[in-house]
Structure 1
Amino acid sequence: MTGNHQTLALLLFSAFVAVTLGITTWVSRNRHGSAEEFYVGGRLFSPMENGFAISGDYMSAASFLGVTGLIALYGYDGLLYVVGFLVAWLVVLFLVAELVRNCGRFTLADVVAARMNERPVRIAAGTSSVTVSVLYLVAQMVGAGSLVALLLGGSSEAARNWTVIGVGALMVIYVSLGGMRATTWIQIVKAVLLLSGSIVLTVLVLVRFHGDVNELLRSAAERSGHGDAFLAPGLKYGGDWTARFDFISLGLALVLGTAGLPHILSRFYTVPTARAARRSVVWSIGLIGGFYLMTIVLGFGAAAIVGPETVRGANAAGNTAVPLLALDLGGGANSAGGTVLFAVVAAIAFATILAVVAGITLASSASVAHDLYASMRRRHAKPRSEVAVARTAAVGIGVVAIALGLLARDLNVAFLVGLAFAVAASANLPVLLYSLFWRSFTTRGAVWAVYGGLVPALLLVLLSPVVSGSPDSLFPSVDFQYFPLQNPGLVSIPLGFLAGWLGTVTSAEPPDEAKHAETEVRSLTGAGAV
């Protein structure tokens, strides 16, 4: 990339960082330091504000960079991510949004612990939430590294590494100083920028093909080198039984995983009522649905205009398809329009990453402080003590995410998020649904459900082609691959539900009917909700 690209993009990066740091500083001067303020922003956000913030939290680097890259490289098979990410919100809307808002205070563990022995349940749910959050953070770090590598011509490994470190440092600052209120406004600003940028790019792609979608698809198929196979299932997930089962596994993880993501569940606590939580989801479905429809156009547009080989040449996993598309749509590498559009899109992508990592870091640090720390003290921690621990935890989580982001820098962003969704669906979703809907569910069942999904999911990933045994693995020089699927969801999700059932039916502890009745009334009516 030319110096003009670098200079303008870096200026826009700096402008967004300056604005968001300004928001964080302003919020930090106008807060009173309570746990409710830090974790959920005082529950003062309207459904529309929270809907935009949820959209900003959910439309991550995986969506903007990873999904469009997969569509550009694999055509129809890349659409699975679009369908999975969007359909998942129906599960959230109909099964968990309102009930979670009524039953909890700050974290997923609050919902489960309402009718269980608190300490073991909080430790299990907190451990799972932190694990899912770190996996999700790694994807955002990889997206940031890919973006800057493209901006600097792909030759500066040191710049990519320093970018990952810089993103980690910024997310710690956002969370430590501003808490949920600053994070929410950063996500709202980012959602508006991302939707605006996507609309502009989508319009430009359609104008290039005179509004003829059929011509766009034909051009994408021809440029791909695969012909009509590019527009049919099977290019990535076809062939042998392993690829087909991988397709099913990924689909399950995407559809069921959203309802178990800690940073999404925590957003339902930022509104004053359960009705507002439900309306927030309706807003977010509309915004997210529109965005994902545009990613389809952008993905096929990148295939037709830029070409899969050029996309793969800039980044093997396809994470740079959208910036390259913007460069071409603006007039090419040496044009003023190309320079401006590329820089704007790169800055929006960078803003996307910063906003999402802030939300995830806040949710995971809340789990450490509110669930793990408070439980291990064997007594309730003071709110100010909890907040101090949460700020410290944000630093530790940032360090871990940076290290893993540097290790996984060559993997596709959307693929990495698929792994996080699989772990969330395996460990968090079973215990959440059982707690809300199964009268006989016990503490042992809750603990077994979490660990029965979490441990197999992580072990299967470690033993999969993602980590070893293939040229694209994290460790290509070694081979301890024993599990053939890249996504563990097909096996680990049923194991999580099975473990929860088995733990309950073998438990000597009788279910507490009174607590279940109280939880049921509270979840359905909101009576007694915070």
Structure 2
Amino acid sequence: MSRRCTSLIAALLSLAALGTAYAAGGDVGQAAKQGTNWTAIGMFGVFVVATLWITKWAAAKTRSAADFYTAGGGITGFQNGLAIAGDYMSAASFLGISAMVMSAGYDGIIYSIGFLVGWPIITFLMAERLRNLGKFTFADVAGYRFKQGPIRAFAASGTLVVVAFYLIAQMVGAGQLIKLLFGLEYWMAVVIVGALMMVYVLFGGMTATTWVQIIKAIMLLAGVSFMAIMVLAQFGFSPEALFAKGVEVKQNIALAAGKSPEDAAKAGLAVMKPGGFVKDPISAISFGMALMFGTAGLPHILMRFFTVPDAKEARKSVFWATTWIGYFYVLIFIIGFGATTLVLTNPEMADVAKGVIKGGAGTANMAAVLVAKVVGGDVFFGFISAVAFATILAVVAGLTLSGASAVSHDLYATLLKGGKADSASELKVSRMTTLALGVIAVALGITFEKQNIAFMVSLAFAIAASANFPVLFMSVLWKDCTTKGAVIGGFLGLISSVGLTIVSPSVWEVTLGNPKGSAWFPYTSPALFSMTIGFVGIWLFSVLDRSAQAQQERADFEAQQVRSETGLGAAGASGH
């Protein structure tokens, strides 16, 4: 293992060197591409070498399926809280939300609030029960008293669809970042991220992924703290002065675009009003539901609760994760307004500002790193660039691990082998799945190049809220939930959320290129409708199920409740 890991690391470093050499050739013809930033490349290289060393160290400790999926359950609550924050503070949060605040103003805060308020649900309803009932994946929890075949098939399907949508956002973020900073082609950046991610997961498993996420969380929190302080320092540490300047900048942009003074004044004030992104109340409610309940259905977040030794550490994990994530989102809103006031008015960034205003989401995604250049010069710009790249690598590794575990543990070990698969063959299937997911992630990242990455993640949240969350919630807390209800209702939520997403304006018109106004579904997020379909489906088909199997599942609820509340019998077990 160690020799293979070392040779692959050498190959990857060669790939990065080739990319750097290509970048140095100076092919920076497109407006969105910049000359090579050697500071950023140097810092990124240091991070990659350090994390690959961690992966080599973790590979020596990863001997069993439990080590691979959950780091053997040996992560403390504080460490896991930082790792969850590292997993959750993704490219969508750092790059996408700041870009959304810069372009849509006040409405960008719906992301910050929505992403954050999902945590109390996990704290009070899920964290302890997840740790007490589960072993490797959320299907262990949802299917504790159910027939294993159907529930595992659903859980793996839901996990893989959510992971695919989430991966798109991370890959797009990586591609845009490298295109902007290093002078590489977009597709080359996406391929390098995919290759590095596969190494982390293939060899290091959850141990390597956890430590990459912890390091990245510390770097990111330090970076955004400095950025927010420097932005506020420009305005005498007065948020009011910052917002007033933001209104003035937007007003001036509108005047320059040929609008009348009255219309320009309205455009400026619109930055501080709702309605810039979410256009109607139904979209706002649906969008908020997706962000809030989707958190409790994200497989790569739920999986982290199995890495701690007991339920007490699981609760501690959520407390620390909520603390760091809440702090981070407050700062991101300040950085978003900093991008409006400092980047769009900076003469040295006139081309970039023009690209941000006219070039759409792809260029605007880089708002946060451009703020870093204004407030901290090239060195800090290089640091934030490396941190942003590290952010993407860490999140992609966590996502890939959850997808691989769904295939190897839920489908292969439990469904195909009836729970009798040995650890070695399960690990082999997991690594093969990792390779397949890496290739799919690269292909999807190249396809969805122009999308705003915060928005792409919101679609993953909508699917998680419509499929995974209702099944998890009802199976753990409702006595009358049955296999048939959970599986049919879960698939209804999954299919309706994916279907409505595809025929919504964001995908049907923007991504697929159909004429404006031709989308079949008028709202930006399907969660209000598809989540309702999921819950109603679970309730209806459970109530109608009068089979002997259903009666037994209802009788087993009491034993499940005792286990979920007390943790009795939780060590090393995963249900029936």
Query: Which interval holds the TM-score relative to the shorter structure?
Result: over 0.9
1:180 maps onto 2:206 in alignment: yes
Q: Which stretch of the first structure deviates more once superposed, 374-383 or 474-483? A: 474-483
1:481 maps onto 2:512 in alignment: no
Structure 2 equivalent of residue 63 of structure 1? 93
CA contact (8 A) 2:41 2:182 kept: no
CA contact (8 A) 1:5 1:340 kept: no
Q: Secondary structure at the match of 1:389?
A: helix
Q: Which residues in structure 2 correspond to 1:231-380 (within 5 Å)?
A: 231-238=272-279, 243-307=280-344, 309-310=353-354, 312-313=356-357, 316-317=360-361, 318-330=364-376, 338-380=377-419
The alpha-carbon deviation at position 3 of structure 1 amounts to 7.9
Q: Which stretch of the first structure deviates more once superposed, 412-421 or 496-505? A: 496-505
Amino acid paired to 1:252 = M
Q: 1:76 to 1:3 in 2, by over 3 A?
A: closer
Q: In structure 1, how many angstroms separate the alpha carbons of the residues matched to 2:238 and 2:524?
A: 36
Q: Secondary structure at the match of 1:271?
A: coil
CA contact (8 A) 1:88 1:257 kept: yes
Structure 2 equivalent of residue 438 of structure 1? 478
Q: 1:394 to 1:194 in 2, by over 3 A?
A: same
The alpha-carbon deviation at position 293 of structure 1 amounts to 0.7
Structure 1 equivalent of residue 256 of structure 2? none
Q: Which residues in structure 2 correspond to 1:120-269 (within 5 Å)?
A: 120-152=150-182, 159-225=185-251, 226-238=267-279, 243-269=280-306
Amino acid paired to 2:100 = L
Q: In structure 2, how many angstroms separate the alpha carbons of the residues matched to 1:121 and 1:268?
A: 20
The alpha-carbon deviation at position 59 of structure 1 amounts to 0.3
Q: Which residues in structure 2 correspond to 1:99-110 (within 5 Å)?
A: 99-110=129-140
Q: 1:311 to 1:479 in 2, by over 3 A?
A: closer
Structure 1 equivalent of residue 102 of structure 2? 72
Amino acid paired to 1:377 = L
1:29 maps onto 2:55 in alignment: no
CA contact (8 A) 1:311 1:324 kept: no
1:346-381 CA-partner distances (Å, limit 9, x unpaired) = 111000000000011101100110001124425222
Amino acid paired to 2:505 = P
Q: In structure 1, how many angstroms separate the alpha carbons of the residues matched to 2:305 and 2:277?
A: 36
Q: Secondary structure at the match of 1:466?
A: helix
Which of 493, 501, 508 is residue 453 of structure 1 equivalent to?
A: 493
The alpha-carbon deviation at position 467 of structure 1 amounts to 2.3
Q: Secondary structure at the match of 1:508?
A: coil
Q: Secondary structure at the match of 1:211?
A: coil
Q: Which stretch of the first structure deviates more once superposed, 321-330 or 197-206? A: 321-330
After the TM superposition, list the runs of 4 or more consecutive aligned residues in structure 1 that deviate by more than 4 angstroms: 1-5, 308-311, 476-480
1:484-507 CA-partner distances (Å, limit 9, x unpaired) = 112111211111101111110121
CA contact (8 A) 2:136 2:303 kept: yes
Q: In structure 1, how many angstroms separate the alpha carbons of the residues matched to 2:449 and 2:515?
A: 17
Q: Secondary structure at the match of 2:480?
A: coil
Amino acid paired to 1:493 = M
1:45 maps onto 2:45 in alignment: no
Structure 2 equivalent of residue 523 of structure 1? 564
CA contact (8 A) 2:34 2:181 kept: no
Structure 1 equivalent of residue 261 of structure 2? none
Amino acid paired to 2:374 = D
Q: Secondary structure at the match of 1:42?
A: helix
1:158-201 CA-partner distances (Å, limit 9, x unpaired) = x1111111111111111110010110000000000000000110
Supply the RMSD in Å over aligned alpha carbons.
Answer: 1.7
CA contact (8 A) 1:302 1:322 kept: yes
Give the TM-score normalised by the residue count of structure 1. Answer: 0.93
Q: In structure 2, how many angstroms separate the alpha carbons of the residues matched to 1:3 and 1:488?
A: 37
Amino acid paired to 1:312 = V
The alpha-carbon deviation at position 481 of structure 1 amounts to 2.2
CA contact (8 A) 2:209 2:398 kept: yes
Q: 1:44 to 1:376 in 2, by over 3 A?
A: closer
Q: Secondary structure at the match of 1:439?
A: coil
Which of 437, 446, 449 is residue 409 of structure 1 equivalent to?
A: 449
Q: In structure 1, how many angstroms separate the alpha carbons of the residues matched to 2:522 and 2:191?
A: 33
Q: Which residues in structure 2 correspond to 1:415-434 (within 5 Å)?
A: 415-434=455-474
1:16 maps onto 2:42 in alignment: no
Amino acid paired to 2:528 = L
Q: How many residues align structurally?
A: 512
1:313-342 CA-partner distances (Å, limit 9, x unpaired) = 585212110111111113xxxxxxx21121
Q: 1:315 to 1:110 in 2, by over 3 A?
A: farther
CA contact (8 A) 2:343 2:370 kept: yes
Amino acid paired to 1:276 = E
Q: In structure 2, how many angstroms separate the alpha carbons of the residues matched to 1:298 and 1:310?
A: 19
Q: Secondary structure at the match of 1:487?
A: coil
Q: 1:43 to 1:311 in 2, by over 3 A?
A: farther
CA contact (8 A) 1:88 1:256 kept: yes
Structure 1 equivalent of residue 536 of structure 2? 498
CA contact (8 A) 1:194 1:348 kept: yes
Q: In structure 2, how many angstroms separate the alpha carbons of the residues matched to 1:281 and 1:17?
A: 28
Q: State the percentage of identical aligned residues.
A: 43
The alpha-carbon deviation at position 515 of structure 1 amounts to 2.0
1:68-127 CA-partner distances (Å, limit 9, x unpaired) = 110011111010000001111111111111111111101011012210001111011111
1:477-529 CA-partner distances (Å, limit 9, x unpaired) = 69862111121112111111011111101213233244211110000001011
Give 5+ residue unaligned stretches, structure 2.
Answer: 1-27, 252-266, 346-352, 572-576
Q: Secondary structure at the match of 1:468?
A: helix
Amino acid paired to 2:460 = A
Give 5+ residue unaligned stretches, structure 1.
Answer: 331-337
Give the TM-score normalised by the residue count of structure 2. Answer: 0.86
Q: In structure 2, how many angstroms separate the alpha carbons of the residues matched to 1:459 and 1:306?
A: 38
